[in-house]
Amino acid sequence: MIRVFIVAASPLIRAGLQSMLADSRFDIVGSAADLESLSGQFVDVEPDVVLVEAATYAQEELLNALEVAELAQEYPVILLSQQPKTAWLSKALRAGVRAVLPRDVAPEQLRAALEAAAAGLVVIHNSELDTVLSATVGPSAPLDELLEPLTRREREVLQMLAAGLANKEIAARLAISDHTVKFHVASILGKLGASTRTEAVSAGIRRGLVML
């Protein structure tokens, strides 16, 4: 069963999303009106996916709120947003968001996206596929040598990032603290010249550091 936490300003929208997910595969473990009120809400609740209805946020404001909350770094996040701009959509995916779906997404599509995100996959809605491809595909360039190679532990962490694991899951698998995981992630980003976990994974794949 996939544990889902819902963030939406309107109680009616929260109720509607819960109704859409009335399925034995999903368990709604909580809800909140906004991202700013999430502090402390996940202490006793460990969602597998966080579903955010983003109607009340300006697009850049939303990304800033996600960054401040470090939400997409800890949990798979799916956003429901109306007609995102090309640059913003690519930026959201690079920030770790697993999917940006239209607000009128069909129930079966939403359920499929939640299952995919919980499994560590990134979901692109058909209506946005061309937009994302055109923004991300560019001319290839030779790779520079890393000034400082990744350590064995950093390569292990990078591989787990590629598998979609959150910091807490990585810490549990490696029997280390969350703080140590964050230290390794920061070091990986610095060595690969990446600003987000998704960029680090992409760089790792290009350099043959990640096994697919």
What stretches in the chain show pLDDT beneath 50?
A: 135-141
Taking the whole predicted model, whether its pTM rises above 0.85 is answered as no
In a domain, 144, yes or no: no
Q: Are 91 and 182 in the same domain?
A: no
Domain count, the chain: 2
Domain residue limits at 201: 152-206
CB 103 within 8 A of CB 109: no
Q: Are 131 and 191 in the same domain?
A: no
Last residue of a domain, one of 75, 101, 136: 136
Q: Are 15 and 103 in the same domain?
A: yes
Q: Are 96 and 185 in the same domain?
A: no
Long-range contacts of 134-141, Cβ-Cβ distance < 8 Å, separation of 24 or more = 134/86, 135/86, 135/87, 135/89, 135/90, 136/90
In a domain, 117, yes or no: yes
| Helix, strand, or coil (residue 72) | helix
8-state DSSP, 30: E
Q: Are 121 and 163 in the same domain?
A: no
Q: pLDDT digits over 44-96, tens only?
A: 788 899 999 987 778 778 888 887 777 777 888 999 987 666 677 777 877 78
Q: Are 126 and 159 in the same domain?
A: no
pLDDT at 208: 83
Geometric angle at alpha carbon 10, from 6 and 11, rounded to 5°: 75
